[in-house]
Amino acid sequence: MIYTGGTIGMVKDYNSGTLKPFNFKKLEKHIPELGQLDCHIDPVSFKDPIDSSNMNSDHWVIIAELIESHYDTHDGFVVLHGSDTMSYTASALSYMLENLSKPVIFTGSQLPIGDLRTDAKENLITAIQIASLSKKESPLIREVCLYFEYKLYRANRTTKINAEHFEAFASLNYPALAESGVHLKVYEENLIKTNTRKKLKVRTQMDTNVAILKLFPGLSENIFRSVLTAPNLKALILETYGAGNAPTEEWLVSELKDAIKKGIHIINVTQCSGGSVIMGQYETSQQLKKLRIINGKNITTEAAITKLMYLLGSGVPSKLFKTVFETSLRGEMD
């Protein structure tokens, strides 16, 4: 169990009234039920637990390396993480942990563990149970998942959709992997089937020379150009409307053309939380198709931006970049 921070382990600072991370030892003190679980838990904590708004790719590497160094001795991993950027971290880890054949379950909570009405206990206890599930003496789940409010999802399909409800996450383009009610039901047909004979490879090179630009009516040419000509930019997620549509104005097309000529990869990802980019369905995406912009299909923005960092970090050659991005690597797109 890796504790990175987040509300799950926070307490109220009575001077400032804000929520701040606290010592991991107290987390165990708050859930004595952990002792009743039918598995042995080794807790590891970030030296300085953080609010997940402060997460970056260096923290992802720490998590990946912790998993790597405990991989042979442990059956499964639970990562306690703030919910704000959990989908980003969990998506990133799904790429970084190549040939994963054990469960890595991210969870957190909307209310601190010490709160009377907390959702932390159920999330944590069930996440641990899921991480220890086995079938014929080998792990049942072999992928990076996110467990929150009675549902287990493929992590790289999730998005945080609510800052208030206990049901904070959704996976609109892929069904749940498991549901917890009176019984814990695992939908095995939805799980990734991996080749277990391959050894885990941990990829820690993540290139952060990437950006996300969300289209909106009224976006000006100057602003658009300044993003596309930002120094060191290597790839951009263009968050388009609906099924991957964008304004057909000439300046926009010509700015995109210039960027592509310079070797910048442009990915078409829809602003909608559900559904897919279908370039060419409407006249307003025909121009993007002609430019051979990369099709993000039904990938989430979180899974797309982290996939970019991973592919650029792995040195995928420019010529192959479009084909590799459009291929599902960890079940992140159809």
Binding site for ligand ASP (CB under 6 A): 5-7, 51-53, 82-84, 108, 110
Answer for the pair 50, 7: CB distance below 8 angstroms, yes or no: no
Considering the complex, state which of residue 51 and residue 264 has its C-beta at the smaller distance from ligand ASP.
51
Active site residue 158: no
Residue 42 in 3-state DSSP?
coil
How far apart CA 138 and CA 140 sit, in angstroms, is 6
Shortest reach from residue 1's CB to ligand ASP, in Å: 16
Distances (CA, A) of 158 to 4, 84, 220, 271, 279: 19, 12, 31, 14, 23
Distances (CA, A) of 208 to 52, 305, 311: 17, 9, 11
Shortest reach from residue 168's CB to ligand ASP, in Å: 7
Considering the complex, state which of residue 160 and residue 265 has its C-beta at the smaller distance from ligand ASP.
160
Answer for the pair 39, 128: CB distance below 8 angstroms, yes or no: yes
Pick from 40, 30, 32, 33: which is nearest to 7 by CA?
A: 30
Residue 286 in 3-state DSSP?
helix
Residue 195 burial (C-beta neighbours within 10 Å; 0-12, 13-18, 19+): exposed
4, 7, 107, 300: the catalytic one is 7
Taking the CA atoms of the chain, what radius of gyration do you get in angstroms?
21
Shortest reach from residue 239's CB to ligand ASP, in Å: 22
How far apart CA 315 and CA 44 sit, in angstroms, is 32
Shortest reach from residue 264's CB to ligand ASP, in Å: 31
Considering the complex, state which of residue 84 and residue 302 has its C-beta at the smaller distance from ligand ASP.
84
Considering the complex, state which of residue 22 and residue 325 has its C-beta at the smaller distance from ligand ASP.
22
Considering the complex, state which of residue 171 and residue 240 has its C-beta at the smaller distance from ligand ASP.
171
Pick from 24, 48, 47, 31: which is nearest to 114 by CA?
A: 31
Cβ-based neighbours of 103, under 8 Å, separated by 6 or more: 76, 77, 130, 131, 133, 139, 140, 141, 142, 143, 145
Answer for the pair 118, 111: CB distance below 8 angstroms, yes or no: yes
Cβ-based neighbours of 107, under 8 Å, separated by 6 or more: 8, 78, 79, 80, 81, 123, 124, 127, 146, 147, 148
Shortest reach from residue 288's CB to ligand ASP, in Å: 34
Shortest reach from residue 163's CB to ligand ASP, in Å: 8
Residue 3 in 3-state DSSP?
strand
Shortest reach from residue 108's CB to ligand ASP, in Å: 5
Considering the complex, state which of residue 82 and residue 331 has its C-beta at the smaller distance from ligand ASP.
82
Considering the complex, state which of residue 110 and residue 158 has its C-beta at the smaller distance from ligand ASP.
110
Report, as residue numbers or ranges, the catalytic residues.
7
